[in-house]
Structure formats: C-alpha cells, structure tokens
Copies of this chain bind each other. A is one copy, B any other.
C-alpha cells in the first residue's frame, strides 16, 4: 500500500470557545492545503475524525466540509475513540492506495470545552464498557488508567516520581511548541504536589480537555512526487481493537491492542529493533502511565522496565529514543478526534526538519512512529512514517 503525506496543518491546541467546530477544522485544512501547495478543489475524498457528543450537532461532517469549502466532495466521519485521527489517516491512505482517488484529506476536530468539566468527565467515563461496567463500577476515565498505574507500580516497583518524570519531560518539550496548550516547564515537585485526580494519578499526570483540529493531505504514489520534494510515506499502519471490559483483560500491565498493532506495523515496515530504526516516537500519553506502558508495548523497553527509561531520562532528545518531543497529549493537549492527526503534523514536520530550536530531533534513519490509543485500549493504531518510499 503506497500513500504519502504531502501537507499538514493544525490549530493551536487549547481551550478555544471563540471558534466553532467547523472553524477549527477549516483552520487546520487551510494550513494543510497551504503546506501541500494544492487547492481545495484538488481534494477528492474526505475522512473526518470526530468523536462528538459535546454539542447538539448530530451530523457534523457535512457542516465542516461546507465551512471548509469542500462540498460536494464525498466522504464520511470516522470514530475510533481517541485514535480517530489515525483512523482518518488510514481511511485517506486506503482511498489513494486503492486507486479510487489521487488526493485525499484526513481532518480531525474536537471541541470538548463546549461541555463543562463534570459533563466531559461523565461522557469520557462511558469509555469503558458502559453497559456492563460503568453503572456497576462508576469509574471515571482517569480512574481506568489509575488501575493500570497501580497494577504496574505493584508489579514492578515503579514510583509516583517515575510517572511524574514523564510529565516533566513532556511539559519541557511543550514549552517550546507554539501549538501546545500548555507552554510552561514544570518541576518534579510541581507534579508531586498537584492534587490527586485518581490515585496515584495527579493533576499533572493527566492530559487536559482540549479544543483543536489537525489535518493531513495524502497523495497517491502517482502524484505525490510531482507535488512535493519531501513526501512523507505512510510506510505501515497496524490497527487493532481490544476488549472494552476491564474484567476481560488478561492483566493491566500492557495494552493488548497496542501490542497487536505494533506487531503488525513492524512486520509491514520490516522493523526488528524499533529503537535502532526510529528517529523518534509520538505516543499516546493521555496519562503518564500510558506513556510508560507504550515504551513496553512498542518494544522500546522490556516488560517491567519501561519506567526505567523515564527514570534515566532516555526518552529526551539525545537519549535512547526521543518520545513526545512535541509535548505529548499531556502538554500539547488532547482534542480527542484531532490528536492522532496532531501527532501526524508533528512527525511530518520533524521528518522534514522544519522544527525551530531545541525541539528538532536529529533525523538519521528517516523514520518515525506514531502510537495512538482509543479508550482504554479499545482501539490502537501504530503508524510508521518514512522519508523513503516503501518497496511493497
């Protein structure tokens, strides 16, 4: 399957009630069109990533398309929980690789602050298996990930400080990212003193509620090289679903769907030793524990040793493998339908070496990984982007 990203765009993530959902999406689309140097008339297919539930608008996709000047281009809304952005990228890639179209658009947008924080907490709390587990257990979304954290700490001896180091790193990089929701450095003490949301996760262990949009323009092999000198090839995408029932999980020490998705992506891309093959990774740190699990699920560390990468600061630029050097969901923000495409935005800019200052990773292997999880492992998408055109 051959497909290349030829343009990306994203809004500044943050609390943004000044712009309606279609305005946020159109901003990202316009930036992506400018970046690709193509006209909106050149787009032949649209995959719109959006979870929704925040507003009364029941069918947001055509409204977004119309506002962004894309009507009557065909397409659909896609939803894979917090991995929706990666699902839209996948749909756009399949559209061009199938020969159906030459240029496709993946755009994701979410406007979560339309609801109050308690309402957002209630909605996201349904992100387990609502029918079987929510009404009986009453877990909030942070509480789901707190179960992962407590299981992990109990089994392997990781500490709250180890989790906190993830937040410190991601805020450090976020402080240099003008698109990030929080552009301020924090200290280990800041994290440790922040209030508990769901023990052992504190305020600074949690990604925020965010409004924002991101977009990527995908082209077929036939047209990509004509349109840009630096196409970023989607070398592989692995995708998997997992049980929504916590009671059905074999353990809470890894996210099964992410393991499956990574295995598939590595197989397609021919990657045997991830840390040696990748310049950097952007992983789904909805909570600090999720980034540590990702280290292990992606094979950056052995089982039970992911927290040591955090403790030893091996995921800063210059370490074993730089991770979330855009600030991650933690500091950059997490507008759930847009987050996957926000990662794509960063990975493409990094691979093209267009990042200002200390946030640019050295690009030696020409290859990066995006890890995007939906729910508590309901969905996982692992995407390998590459400067080199895939052979198969």
> Which residues of A are in contact with B by a Cβ distance under 8 Å?
1, 20, 45-46, 51, 53, 55-59, 61-63, 65-66, 70-81, 84, 87, 90-91, 93-95, 97-100, 123-124, 126-127, 129-131, 134, 237-245, 248, 256-257, 260-261, 264, 374-375, 378-381
Given the known A-B contacts A71-B243, A244-B62, are A76 and B130 also in contact in the complex, defined by CB atoms under 8 Å?
no
Per the bound structure, the CA–CA distance linking A51 and B57 in Å amounts to 12
Taking the full assembly, how many copies of this chain does it contain?
2
Q: B53 and A58: CB pair below 8 A?
A: yes
Q: A91 and B66: CB pair below 8 A?
A: no
Per the bound structure, the CA–CA distance linking A227 and B135 in Å amounts to 44
**B residues less than 8 Å from A257 (CB atoms):** 72
Q: B80 and A76: CB pair below 8 A?
A: yes
Given the known A-B contacts A76-B79, A78-B77, A94-B94, are A242 and B1 also in contact in the complex, defined by CB atoms under 8 Å?
no
Chain A binding surface SS class: mixed
CB nearest to A377 among chain B residues: B62
In the complex, which of the residues B55, B59, B241 contacts A378, with contact meaning CB atoms closer than 8 Å?
B59
Per the bound structure, the CA–CA distance linking A100 and B237 in Å amounts to 9
Q: How far is the CB of A132 from chain B (nearest CB, A)?
A: 9
Beyond A61-B379, A76-B84, A97-B100, 15 additional contacts (C-beta under 8 Å) are: A45-B239, A51-B58, A59-B126, A59-B127, A61-B241, A62-B243, A63-B131, A66-B245, A72-B260, A74-B239, A74-B240, A74-B241, A74-B261, A77-B78, A78-B79
Q: A243 and B66: CB pair below 8 A?
A: yes
Per the bound structure, the CA–CA distance linking A78 and B126 in Å amounts to 19
Per the bound structure, the CA–CA distance linking A184 and B3 in Å amounts to 51
4 tightest CB-CB pairs across the interface, nearest first? Answer: A74-B239, A97-B98, A58-B126, A62-B378
